[in-house]
Amino acid sequence: MRHRDSISFSDEAYTSTAIGLHWLIAALMICGFSLGWVMTSIHGFTPAKLRYVSWHKWIGVTVFALAALRIMWRATHRAPPLPAGMAPWQRAAAHFVHVLLYVLMIAIPVTGYLFSSASNVPVVYLGIVPLPRLIAPDPALKALFKTAHLVLNWTLAALVLAHVGAALKHQWIDRDGLLARMIPWLKAKPRHLDFRRLQEK
């Protein structure tokens, strides 16, 4: 049986493009979620709320475009290998979470866009580029896409928390170098080094 201290870890990292897209999308999603939280807490249609709604939509369109680019990049560039000692169920879980994150990064902006169209509210990207309306105004579809948008956002929030928690576990408990694939300067210290240091004292 393989000892936990013998878990091997790779020095390979994602490409700089993949890393840049990852953190840019993450930052934009946090901003978009925060804006959504704030704007829905404002009653009525104040100038501030309308401004936040516009920013929220612009972020959504940007995330959609960047996520599509990220998926295309991922399809043509191999991801660095997972640690050799990683349990099969953890590998399966990591793959499932990554796929679901990609799906949500596309589905959330799409449902938000369709919600705006069904609400008869145009989306003008950056206040300059009007986007085409894909569906006609429809109260039933408005309610449907609003619910879908909310559910998908909260699903994403829960998934991101789990994703971050797992990354921190791999960095500080397993110490298998997994987080360093996305943060190359953050190198994990192998557990056996701590054991050797204790023996030397």
pLDDT tens-digit profile of 103-137? 999 999 999 999 999 999 999 999 999 999 889 99
Q: Is 143 within the bounds of a domain?
A: yes
The pLDDT value given to residue 167: 80
The answer to whether position 158 is within a domain reads: yes
Counted domains in the chain: 1
pLDDT in the model for residue 135: 92
Give the model's pLDDT for residue 119. Answer: 93
4 belongs to a structural domain: no
**Residue 102 located in a structural domain:** yes
pLDDT score for 165? 86
Residue 3 lies in a domain: no
**Tens digit of each residue's pLDDT (9 = 90 or more) over 41-58:** 888 888 999 999 999 999
Looking at per-residue pLDDT, the higher value among 37 and 182 belongs to 37
pTM above 0.85, yes or no: no
Look up the CATH number of the domain holding residue 53. 1.20.950
94 found inside a domain: yes
6 has pLDDT over 50 = no
CB 105 within 8 A of CB 155: no
Burial annotation 171-185 (CB, 10 A radius, 16+ → b, else e): beebbbbbbbbbeee
Max CA distance (Å), the chain: 74
pLDDT confidence of residue 186: 67
**Does pLDDT of 96 surpass 80?**
yes
pLDDT reading at 181 higher than 80: no
- In the predicted structure, residue 60 carries a pLDDT above the cut 90: yes
d(CA 36, CA 41): 9
Confidence of residue 170 (pLDDT cuts 50, 70, 90): confident
**Angle at CA 198, nearest 5°, toward 194 and 201?**
140
Place of tokens 């936990």: 4
pLDDT at res. 88: 87
Range of the domain at 54: 10-80+88-200
Q: Do the domain assignments include residue 153?
A: yes
pLDDT value at residue 194: 45
Domain for residue 60, yes or no? Answer: yes
86 pLDDT band, cuts 50/70/90, is confident
Query: Hey, which residues does 129 pair with through a beta bridge?
Result: 125
Q: 8: closest CA among 186, 167, 179, 191?
A: 191
pLDDT of amino acid 189: 52
